[in-house]
Amino acid sequence: MSGDGKPEVIGGSGGYLLRAYDASLAIAQGWPRYTHGWIVASPAIGDVDGDGKLEVAVPTREGNLFAWRTRGATCAADGSWQPSWWTYHHDEHRSGVLDHDSQAPERIRDPARATTPDGSIELTWTAPGGDGPCGRASRYDVRYATDAAVDLRDPRAFNAAAPVSNPPAPAAAGSAERFRFVAPAATSYAIRAIDDHGLIGLPSVASEAPPPQAQHHGSGGCTITRGDVAGRAASWSLAVGSLAVLVARRRVRTLALERRVVVEAGR
């Protein structure tokens, strides 16, 4: 939580405080955190906003949910998932077992497709981790549909779709991936990652990768382009000389109240 690479333990009480201690039982830097209410559940730890840093969240009896940013990295130095016990009974499966793996690969955020001159399909994407955003997945599952009405984001539709043979072995998280294949009469393509314990990530549909489009108006240097922000929200960037305005469908509003941070995200 403090970013020093050493483990801390976190717990709350009816005294309105969420406390954190390091292995020497010293209070972790930046703690405790005040909630203005009784803490009635175990805190949960994870990377909520995808910035590579951990957040900690906890509810109170009054119905408030508090979330704080921390200095702790989501992934350890060796690329593994950093938290060793991140929620009630260790993990999402409530196993209570320290080395139980419940972290499926994250959804691939930026798959794109293009048709090559010889008629092949080329998919490109950024490699996900094997445990959420961390580590390395074990294999990829690439499939395609020949019916435009099929939504391959639905895992049931994905499982029923035609598989593509011999996808590449996954590289480390964050690496650029590329795969070329032939899929006659295909209308859509999707990919998901699977880890070494058989945990399956959610499928992502590959979007068409059009060439950049720009419109120029006179000598004022006004350029309008459509892009994608971190693969999460379609956005439009307007640049006029040195002025840049970014408008996104996803809004993130941060409110600071004493040591409390509330993050709201909407479409």
32-83 per-position pLDDT tens digit: 888 888 888 888 888 888 888 888 998 888 888 988 888 888 887 777 776 7
pTM score above 0.85 = no
Residue 230 backbone zone (phi > 0: left; psi -120 to 50: alpha; other: beta) = left
Residues in the chain: 267
pLDDT per position as a tens digit, 77-124: 777 776 777 777 777 788 878 777 788 898 998 999 998 888 889 999
What DSSP string describes 100-166? ----PBPPPS--EEEE-TTS-EEEEEE---SBBTBS--SEEEEEEES-TT--TTSHHHHHHSEEPS-
Question: For the residues 184-201, what does the mean pLDDT come to?
Answer: 90
Question: What residue ranges of the chain are covered by domains with CATH 2.60.40.10?
Answer: 112-208
Name the residue with higher pLDDT: 146 or 231.
Answer: 146
The CATH architecture annotation of domain 112-208 reads: Sandwich (2.60)
Question: What residue ranges of the chain are covered by domains with CATH 2.40.10.480?
Answer: 1-100
The CATH class that applies to domain 1-100 reads mainly beta
Name the residue with higher pLDDT: 33 or 252.
Answer: 33
Confidence of residue 21 (pLDDT cuts 50, 70, 90): confident
